[in-house]
A and B are shown apart, each in its own frame.
Chain A
Amino acid sequence: QVHLQESGPGLVKPSETLSLTCTISGGSISNYYWSWIRQPPGKGLEWIGYIYYSGSTNYNPSLKSRVTISVDTSKNQFSLKLTSVTAADTAVYYCARESGGGSYEEWGQGTLVTVSS
């Protein structure tokens, strides 16, 4: 049973960079697409982007100028960097594994990141 776990700072200052890592256990990072999805408190879900294990990426145009998703196959991890954050970036950030072509059957538990000085 694959398990995904997000990690990273829970508090980030405005204008700084949000950095999160998703560690995969119980399975290999190979041959899958891996995504980041976020959910502001009390609101709906927003797809941030995905990375294939080989390194190819696809980002949401609304965030593309500020987002980088990278992969480290040796550590079975992938990461998110979001630059120049504002309060609007406060959200629970989930990592997830694509299945069935773009739906998500495996999710991390989510981590709340608050942007505040």
Chain B
Amino acid sequence: EIVLTQSPGTLSLSPGERATLSCRASQSVGSSYLAWYQQKPGQAPRLLIYGASSRATGIPDRFSGSGSGTDFTLTISRLEPEDFAVYYCQQYGSSPYTFGQGAKLEIK
């Protein structure tokens, strides 16, 4: 199975700053089938990005995804207060689908 490793584990930033989250796969993710999710306490995950770089419905354009092969990045260009949450990457290029361990974005 493909193991996804997210870094950093915790990122401390201030509103208005730029956030960059990394997701590295243990082997190449087929067809860039890589998604990013945001999860807040007590809520289900929310899809942000699919296909490595396509924004899901209603997602603000401050969220962007990039990468291919084994290295992927989620960038939040200018942090809003509501962006502080836990973020997960997920690969669905091969079975079993797998998720990264999560990265917490906290207010500095």
Contacts and interface: CB of A to CB of B under 8 A. Distances in A.
- Consensus secondary structure, chain B interface: loop
Contacts of A104: 35, 37, 45, 47, 90
B51 to A, nearest CB: 6
Interface stretch (A10-18, A19-27, A74-82, A107-115): A107-115
Contacts of A46: 99
Interface string B95-108: 11111111000000
Interface string A94-106: 1010011111110
B102 to A, nearest CB: 5
B70 interface: no
B40 to A, nearest CB: 12
Contacts of B50: 99-101, 103, 105
B44 A61 contact: no
A62 interface: yes
